[in-house]
Amino acid sequence: DSGVTQTPKHLITATGQRVTLRCSPRSGDLSVYWYQQSLDQGLQFLIQYYNGEERAKGNILERFSAQQFPDLHSELNLSSLELGDSALYFCASSPGTGAQPQHFGDGTRLSIL
């Protein structure tokens, strides 16, 4: 158990819809990272937050947004969903701002029909 909790585990929705993925970091970790992993693909870095502030941005689409709340949980919002957004979305956490993504959640599998 990594200590990182992601909900929901599975999400099925239709094109054009909006969804919110939630992540609770490991206790004591201040950084949260979001990654997208498409089928048989690598991990695409989306965005990182540290203690409520955005610290690094990857190839995140304008249709996607994220935030980290005062209790350190984070939400990734995906809107105007397209078929190509179907993927496994991982959240990871680490203690510091520069530390490697150390603890990964089990991911949210998003399927767009």
Partner 1 sequence: GENVEQHPSTLSVQEGDSAVIKCTYSDSASNYFPWYKQELGKRPQLIIDIRSNVGEKKDQRIAVTLNKTAKHFSLHITETQPEDSAVYFCAARATSGTYKYIFGTGTRLKVLA
For partner 1, the binding residues (CB under 8 A) are 2, 33, 35, 41-45, 48, 55-58, 90, 92, 97-98, 100-102, 104-107
- Classify the C-alpha dihedral 59-53-26-107 as positive or negative: negative
In the chain, DSSP assigns E strands to 5-7, 10-13, 19-24, 31-37, 44-50, 53-57, 64-68, 74-78, 87-94, 103-104, 108-112
Nearer of residues 13 and 60 to partner 1, judged by Cβ: 60
Nearer of residues 14 and 42 to partner 1, judged by Cβ: 42
Nearer of residues 75 and 106 to partner 1, judged by Cβ: 106
1: helix, strand or coil: coil
